[in-house]
Amino acid sequence: MKNMEVLHKIKGGLIVSCQALETEPLYGADMMARMAVAARDGGAVAIRSNSPQDVKAIKKAVSLPVIGLYKVNYPDSEVYITPTMREIDSLMEAAPDIIAMDATNRLRPHNETLEHFFAEVMEKYPDMLFMADCSCFEDAAQAQRLGFDIAGTTLCGYTKETSNSMIPNYDMLRRMTRELKIPVIAEGGIWNTEQLQRVFEEKILAAVVGTAITRPREITRHFINAIHKEQ
């Protein structure tokens, strides 16, 4: 699938994140592939997926564009979304349509900067589409300068500097869509249709919903917390 075709297929639609960590009951590539089929049948335009094995399984199950990432924890860095070239290489073997990575200003494993790392990635894989998972507008602006194809609000609220941010962060999203030239994807904290409609009031490429659709344990906790708040 050509890059422009991928972006055209995603434009104006809902991307469903089908992810489960090893500690979750639905963990497993086969289960995530089934989730992807359900999302496709419900009208999703693309799938966001973690790990090469899940990407492969999902691409076999559906013909939708797949945003691949690879969450790996390293002891010397807080960056865990596609942190090193090892994860990039593994994802490339699984052939996602887009690769997403942490694009914050935090040092990556082995004290590597995003600027140095992404330059090497672009040299090795110049034809791949890359999505920058950002925590703030400054991250997104830097990602655009470095040559990322897409910027997302994915990591707002998940870094020390943004831990007190309300998500979805509409102010961040508005500034990104108005000041950046690259497409913007709204991701993070979208729990209901009202929030989804609100992010689409901005000129976004698409929106990602994950937990509220594909993580039943977290959905259950969300409703349980609502009960406790009423008591």
Q: What's the one-letter identity of residue 220? A: T
pLDDT at 2: 72
pLDDT at 152: 98
- How many distinct structural domains can be found in the chain? 1
Tell me the C-alpha to C-alpha distance, in Å, between residue 176 and each of 144, 179, 226, 229. 11, 5, 32, 34
pLDDT at 230: 61
Q: Which long-range contacts (CB under 8 A, 24 or more apart) does 137-144 make?
A: 137/172, 137/175, 137/176, 137/179, 138/105, 139/103, 139/104, 139/105, 140/103, 140/176, 140/180, 140/184, 141/179, 141/180, 142/103, 142/105, 142/114, 142/115, 143/103, 143/182, 144/180, 144/181, 144/182
Which domain CATH number covers 92?
A: 3.20.20.70
pLDDT at 228: 78
Q: Which helix (DSSP H) or strand (DSSP E) does residue 101 occupy?
A: strand 98-102
Q: What's the one-letter identity of residue 178? A: R
- The residue segments making up the domain with residue 130 are 3-230
Comparing C-alpha atoms, which of 184, 228, 185 is closest to residue 209? 185
CA distance 52 to 57: 9
pLDDT in tens, the chain (231 residues): 678 899 999 999 999 999 998 899 999 999 999 999 999 999 999 999 999 999 999 999 999 999 999 999 999 999 999 999 999 999 999 999 999 999 999 999 999 999 999 999 999 999 999 999 999 999 999 999 999 999 999 999 999 999 999 999 999 999 999 999 999 999 999 999 999 999 999 999 999 999 999 999 999 999 999 897 765
